[in-house]
Structures are given as structure tokens and as C-alpha cells.
Homo-oligomer: A and B are copies of this chain.
Amino acid sequence: MSSLIESVEQVFPGVWRVRLGDPEKFTPVGLREIAPDVVHAGALPAVPDCPIDLNQLRFKLTPRGCVVEIPMGNGEQIYGMGLQLKSLNQTAKKRTVRVNSDPLADTGDSHAPVPFYASTSGYGVLIDTARYALVNLGSHVKVGQGTPAVGGAVPSGSTSELYKARALQGRFVVVDIPTARGVDLYFFAGPTVRNAVQRYNLFSGGGCLPAIWGLGIWYRPFTGHSADKITEIISKFREQKLPVTVIGLEPGWQGQSYSCSFKWSTERFPEPQKFIDHTLSMGYQLNLWEHVFPHPTSPIYEPLKPHSGDYEVWGGLIPDLSLPQARKIFADYHETELVDKGISGFKLDECDNSDITPWFWSFPEATEFPSGMDGEQMHSMLGLLYQRTIDGIYRKHNQRTYSLVRSSHALASPYAYVLYSDLYDHKDFARGVTTMGFAGLLWTPEVREGVTAEGLIRRVQSVAMSPMALINGWYLATPPWEDAAMEKAMPEAQLHPHTNLLDACRPIFELRMSLVPYLYAAFARYRFEGLPPFRALVMDYPHDANVLKTDDQWMMGDNMLVAPMFAGQTERDVYLPQGKWHDFNTGKVYEGAQSHKIAAGINTIPLFVRDGTILPLAEPLQTIAGDTVFNITPHVYGTGEIEPFTLWEDDGTTFNYEQAQFNRVTLVWNKSTGLTATRQGNYKGIRYNINQNMESR
């Protein structure tokens, strides 16, 4: 295998691009629009040298495409490769980088595969390709190059024994890219794995900063409801004192969906503007479901026809959104017909290559697009191109959104779009929250229904501790907590002290609303430092062998550890990393670097606060607007040294922060002086009232 390195160039602080052969034109970097955030990268530790020994890098062209071998140490643990729902730790796995709407097996397929991985040895690698690359992360060794074969003298007596991991022998990551005649690799220095991820996100353009209302509670009513019925349901939320900030309409808002007319149903929404205005007047934001494929009756069908792929999806077009013309037609229509009229975000569905639902749910890889992209490349890039198209409208309006998308890929962190899916296993949902942070992605373990009251509550608890607290009732005539049969099936004693499901769910929603300022601060770190607001434990503790596979707990912001409960559990093991931890619910203090058995009744999700934390909890509101002021009570955890906490303050809904229109509100506590809050910055508004009578725990 020869090493055909065309060039090596440091393209960003601590990021080296290695060009191998003749790379393709349509790649994540090739199609990017948002520039790397060089300014903020300066705050990361300086690393003078490429973290990989390029003398050990190998590259070859084959009849199938090209193959790269990237050196890898024996002890390294690998994470990333996108939103992985079936496993967190990717070490020694074989991954297919393929967009797949319903990945059932642990093959790497995902709604949002990302050819980026990060190592506990403190570096990251981006393989800049839109192909269905195969990446063997140290899973194989060449003849004679590995350690001696192990095991096998005694036959395995069970499948679990046979299938369990054996001693890792792999020494190379093998990247196999069919079709391509070359590829750019980007190596991201650490020195820690967390730094490498931060560098990747800043290279992507920084993390996204959602519109602040997006961090509240989302509800999507039944797709077949009319405007009046929806108004009735969401009015009831206000009567019930149930905090809800965003209402999402499902396909039924359109007169024609699958494929999409992008026009209001005259039957269900006879007066769209009136409906929008009234909904906004109640303090809700409005989000609209759609997919990218215009129906022949859509006003944009004919204009888009010359700029679309040669296949249909559901009888609609596949606009080639890599073309400025197609993008302009699509965006202009959305701007004038929807965004201008008050729609603050979208749910971009069905852009994720439905393999599992056959028929014509997507387009063949053999599809030809006028830009020259083929169907394989478009499947990889469609989610990104779609986000970018919609995002451009809001940036033009100097308006932030928080939206949903069903597929994504590399360099996605600047887009405030949260991934979702109808994979129903709660543990898969939770695992996604731990894997997304290694890929520049956000993911919501959305709640559709709970099957049981217990399942519903457990899922609501998880989603409330995730990037987007979304309840998706698109096929439920009433909100799930109004399911009388489900409620009745749950013994009252279990619900205690609540007597109904609504009362059991409300405190979870309120807790989420209390956490909004804390989460907003975490998102500010994502934006400016590339630090994911939700992280697997291993990102913060890469040298703790106990967390290498912990995929059912996560860090939320810098100071809180979430350990969700799953239906059927009354207690669970929670591993707490080094240091002391305070049980958020009971106040009990636990020693870290060990596992604890934590009991948690139906009304409790185990949450732990790092010792030495100031946790700013807000008085829960019913909704959030741009000018919402949060009344914050800082809670101090610990008796020793207390770290300052910095709240981040801006107008919440525009990009003015990019012109330095923001404040940092720093909370400092010490025994003698108590709490002080210091506001610094150019933003003139006030978002936080700090209650100086903080609580100490």
C-alpha cells in the first residue's frame, strides 16, 4: 500500500488537512457554507503537531474506490460516527456511514451518520466524504501484523459467550470509500478527546444557539385536527397550568402531503393567518411539519422541476438544494408564505433514506441531480442541505429558530436542528443523547406515547433532560396524559402524591422550565467553545475505565448528571465519576468513582449535581418569549470550594450576539460574602433577576 499524500496543511488551529489522491467535489466540506469559527478556536489549548503520525498513514486506489489506513493505538477507545442508537463505544467496530431511516442493527447506519470519530487518546478524525464509506475502527488486523490469536481452545457454550468482545488486536482504522478516487482527512488535535470534539465543532462553525423559547416544552397535536380543535387543546394547556412553549403542526396543516403542497388545508385551516396570530397571542411559537418533496399541486413544483433529480418521491420532486436556483425557489416560497406570516421553525421530515419502509419512500442511489450529485451523495447530504435552506431564511430575518430534522451529517453543529425518530425503545432513545455529542448533533428522545402510564412518565422525564423536550402526539387524539385508560391502569399509590397523569407530568415540565437558564448557558458554551451541552460521561472522564460504555447516563451542562429510569425499574445503578455528588432530589451526598444503587419512585428521575456547583434554578413559567425575564434562585452545592457559574444573556431570538450584543452574568459564592452576581457585556436588556437569597445544599 503506497502513501499517496498530495498535501498536508494546517487549515485551522490544531486541525490538519491531509489530501489523499483526488478527492470528490460533493463532500461535507466541499458543500459547506458556514465558515470555521477561527476566533473562538484560539481559546483551545495550542497543539503544534498533527496528532497522527503521517508516516504511518497509508492510502491506495482500488477498482472499488480508495482505502485509507489510519494508525490507532491498542488502548484507544473510539467514539463518534454520528448519532449511534445501538452503541456508544465504537472501538473495534465496523461502521457503514449510510443514512438509514430505521437502523435496527448496530452497523453504523443512522439517520445522521457522521464520518468523524474521536479517540480517548485525544484526537479526532473527519473523513470528508458523502459516500457510504465503510470504516473499520480497529476491528481487523492484517495477516501477521496483529497480536497472536486468542481464545478458542475451549469451545464457547453460549451465544453470549461466543459473541462477546475478545482482546482487541486492531491497530489501524481502515476507511474504505467506494467510488471515490481520493479523500481529504482532517485531523483534530486535543490534547483531550473533549478538546478534539470542541475543535471539530468550532471547525464546523461553532455549536448552535437555539432561540430561547426552543428550550421550553414542545407539543405536536394530532395530524388530523382542525385549527379550532388545536386551539381548544392548547388553550387547555394554559388552563391546566401546563408549561408549553412551542406547538408543532403535523402533515394535516397542508392540503396535500406525501408529497407536499406546502399550502394550508382549506378544510382544516380555512383562515391560516388568524390561526397563527391567535396561537402566537397565547404565547406559543408555531412549528410546521414538512418534507422536501413538492407535490404537483404545489406552487413551487413547476419552478423547481428543472432543478430536481430525475426520480419522483411520492409523486413529488426531489429539489437539488445544492443548486442556488433550487434553494432560492424553495426558500423564497417558505419565507413569504410561512416565515413572514409568523412560523418560527419547521420539522424537516423524511429526508433520511427510508430503507425499511419500502415502496417509494425515498429515491434510488442511482438518481441523477442537475448539480452532478448522485443519489448516494444526496442521501448523505440532503438533511444538511435542507437545514441550510431553511436556516438561510431565518438568518436573513436576523431571527433564530429551534427546529427539527430527520437526517444530518458532518459539520452540522451550527444548525439549530434537533434529530428525532420513531424508534421507540427508551434505552435507544437515551443512548442517542450520549452519542450525539461526539458528532456535532442534537437529538431528542421524543415522547409519542408511553404504552403504559409508567412508561409515559419515564419517557417524559428523559426528554425533559434532553436538548428538546418534545411530546409528539401526532397520532393521538388527546395528549397522552389524558389517556384515561392508561391512567386508570396505574395504581394510585404509585402515582402518589399525584392523583392523575397530568399532575404527574406537570412537575417534570416545570423542572425543565426551571433549567432553561442553566441550559441556555450550556448552549452558549456550545456556540463559542464547541462544548456539547449534553455529553457522554466518557467525554469528561476519558481515563475512567468505568464510563467507557456508559450509555444510559449523561452530563447535562457542566454540573448535572442525568440517570434516567426506564419502565419496570424502581431503582438503578448509577455510576458517579470522581468527586462528591449531590442527589438533586434528596440532597444526599454520594462519593464518586463508584457505582451506587439509587431508588427512584415514579415521580423521580435521578439527577446529581457536582459538588462545588452553583445551580441557577428559575421559577418555572408557562411559556417563554423573547423578553421573558427569569427569576433565578442560585442553589449552592457543597461546603468546600464553590466554582463560579456564568449565565449567558442576550435577546434570545436574534443573531445580534454575533455583534457582541450579549452579557455574561457571573455568579460567585463564598462563605464570607455570600453570593454576588456580576453582569458584563453590551446587551442592554435584562433576562435574569437573581434572587440573592440563594439556597445552600
Chain A residues with a Cβ under 8 A of chain B: 62-65, 67, 92-94, 96, 102, 104-107, 134, 136, 139-143, 146, 148-159, 162-163, 165-166, 168-170, 174, 176, 178-179, 222-224, 250-252, 254-259, 295-296, 305, 308-317, 355-360, 362-366, 368, 374, 376, 422, 475
Complex Cα gap A356–B159 (Å): 13
Q: In the bound complex, do residue A64 and residue B157 qualify as a contact, i.e. CB atoms below 8 Å apart?
A: no
A-B contact pairs, 24 of them (CB 8 A): A62-B366, A63-B179, A64-B376, A65-B179, A93-B358, A94-B355, A102-B105, A104-B104, A134-B366, A139-B359, A139-B360, A141-B311, A143-B312, A148-B296, A149-B259, A149-B316, A155-B250, A155-B252, A163-B357, A166-B359, A169-B360, A170-B360, A176-B364, A176-B365
Which single residue of chain B is at the shortest CB-CB distance from A64?
Answer: B179
- Shortest CB-to-CB span from A125 to chain B, Å, is 17
- Asked if A158 meets B92 with Cβ closer than 8 Å, knowing A105-B355, A315-B169, A360-B139, the reply is no
With most chain B CB atoms within 10 A of its CB, the pick from A140, A159, A163, A309 is A140
**Across-interface contacts of A92 in B (CB, < 8 A):** 358-360
Complex Cα gap A255–B250 (Å): 61
- Shortest CB-to-CB span from A320 to chain B, Å, is 12
Q: Which one of B93, B251, B316, B422 contacts A155 once the chains associate, using CB atoms below 8 Å?
A: B251
**Across-interface contacts of A134 in B (CB, < 8 A):** 364-366
**Across-interface contacts of A174 in B (CB, < 8 A):** 364, 366
Q: Which one of B104, B224, B359 contacts A157 once the chains associate, using CB atoms below 8 Å?
A: B224
Which single residue of chain B is at the shortest CB-CB distance from A147?
Answer: B315
With most chain B CB atoms within 10 A of its CB, the pick from A67, A94, A150, A374 is A94
Q: In the bound complex, do residue B151 and residue A258 qualify as a contact, i.e. CB atoms below 8 Å apart?
A: yes
Which single residue of chain B is at the shortest CB-CB distance from A170?
Answer: B360
**Across-interface contacts of A102 in B (CB, < 8 A):** 105
Which single residue of chain B is at the shortest CB-CB distance from A251?
Answer: B155
Q: In the bound complex, do residue A140 and residue B311 qualify as a contact, i.e. CB atoms below 8 Å apart?
A: yes
- Asked if A257 meets B356 with Cβ closer than 8 Å, knowing A104-B104, A311-B140, A317-B143, the reply is no
Q: In the bound complex, do residue B67 and residue A366 qualify as a contact, i.e. CB atoms below 8 Å apart?
A: yes
**Across-interface contacts of A365 in B (CB, < 8 A):** 64, 134, 176
- Shortest CB-to-CB span from A450 to chain B, Å, is 16
Complex Cα gap A294–B296 (Å): 60
Q: In the bound complex, do residue B358 and residue A149 qualify as a contact, i.e. CB atoms below 8 Å apart?
A: no
- Asked if A106 meets B356 with Cβ closer than 8 Å, knowing A64-B374, A176-B366, the reply is yes
Q: In the bound complex, do residue B178 and residue A178 qualify as a contact, i.e. CB atoms below 8 Å apart?
A: yes
Complex Cα gap A153–B179 (Å): 40
With most chain B CB atoms within 10 A of its CB, the pick from A151, A317, A359 is A359
Complex Cα gap A255–B155 (Å): 9
With most chain B CB atoms within 10 A of its CB, the pick from A168, A258, A376 is A258
**Across-interface contacts of A252 in B (CB, < 8 A):** 155
Which single residue of chain B is at the shortest CB-CB distance from A136?
Answer: B364
- Shortest CB-to-CB span from A254 to chain B, Å, is 8
- Shortest CB-to-CB span from A77 to chain B, Å, is 14
Complex Cα gap A475–B159 (Å): 8
Q: In the bound complex, do residue B106 and residue A359 qualify as a contact, i.e. CB atoms below 8 Å apart?
A: no
